[in-house]
Amino acid sequence: MTSKITKRPTTLADGRELIYFDDADSTLGEQHSVDSRTLDPRPVTATMRQDILTGEWVSIAAARQNRVFLPPADQDPLAPQTPQNPSEVPALYDVAVFENRSPSFGPALAGSENSPTGLDDLADLGLGRTRSSIGRCEVVCFSPDHEGSFGTQTVSRARTVIEAWADRTEALSALEGVQQVFPFENRGEAIGVTLHHPHGQIYSYPYITPKTQRTLDSIEGTSPDMFQRILDFERGGDRVVLSGEHWTAFVPFAARWPIEVHMLPHRQIPDFAATSDVERDELATLYLKLLRGIDAIYDSPTPYIAAWHQAPVNRARDTFRLHLQLTSPRRAADKLKYLAGSESAMGAWIGDVTPEAAAENIRKAIERV
């Protein structure tokens, strides 16, 4: 299947990169339209500010304030262009990836004015410290259709998106100054989605994210094979919801969210670029089954964040394992879990549903799809 997935790079009118990925069974022709729009210059690269209380960096990307909010289908910026809709994608497509017009990171890379000089530079603490928010943010369109999600795609289309994730992970990891690459999908208005179009994003950070750094600390504090130990522990318990030859999905032992599922590959893989063809093939089927099961828990689609955690570009490649963390705040058909005082202010979580009960509910839902 992989040999038939076709990659077709081009550029948009303002110079941003656009890449078409055609399905293995695509019915599209080889030619794609040229973007003939007249566009304003891209916003300047945002600026990061350091929080001295935590050492964390916050990107202040004010240009994002004016992005499109829940447009009608005929003004969908991710749909193929028409005379009435000068969208971001000039031609009909299967999967399209392009640089975000108003990114949180980039378009500048290392070597630009006030850019970080490395991880040691970013680790220093000081009042009023700033750095340029170098990196890149890309949009991954799963389909030309106005509505849907990853879970509504065909197996062939899911496989194409996974191929795009692998391709972009490799390319973005090679950009100067990029320290980590993060593919993810936000689904549903309850999550804060501003476009109904089925799509995800890929962020390329100039630092190692706080979540990943905490995991690296845990690896250092336990053992280099921590992820394998987690996988063995979960596969021996009653929280597994789906398993194949190469991947296993489970509700984690200390799940925070009412719906939370992790998925791990069965071998040490740092990121999508390192996965094999057979692993990508199986993931296309299993991941769709998982997402459709999550949607089948209740009578309406489930809002979620699907976060694919990858190893940093230059650290822990042989210990940090690629994995999915899918979370939803939906704790009942008509109720959401809101992060109030304890979770938001103190980071002290209280679970509303036992992980074992959640796993049983998800297994039953998967059986129904």
Beta-ladder partners of 9: 19
Q: How many CA atoms lie within 13 A of 238 on its CB side?
A: 7
For 350, phi and psi rounded to 5 degrees?
A: -130, 120
Q: Are 348 and 326 spatial neighbours (Cβ–Cβ below 8 Å)?
A: no
Q: Active-site residue numbers?
A: 199
Phi-psi region of 275 (alpha: psi -120 to 50; beta: other; left: phi over 0): beta
Rounded to 5 degrees, φ, ψ at 193 are -60, 135
- Asked if 324 contacts 263 with a C-beta cutoff of 8 angstroms, the reply is yes
Cα 243 off chain centre by: 22
- For residues 105 and 136, what is the distance between their CA atoms, to the nearest angstrom? 5
CB 354 within 8 A of CB 237: no
Single-letter residue type at 63? A
Which residue matches tokens 């692998």? 166
Distance separating alpha carbons of residues 364 and 361, to the nearest angstrom: 5
Work out the angle between the directed axes of helices 155-173 and 277-295 (0-180°, nearest 10): 120
- Parallel, antiparallel, or unpaired: how do β-strands 330-332 and 335-336 relate? antiparallel
| Residue 257, φ and ψ in degrees, nearest 5 | -95, 155
8 A C-beta contact, residue 46 and residue 131: no
Number of C-alpha atoms within 13 angstroms, CB side, residue 61? 22
Structure tokens at 305: 């964040």
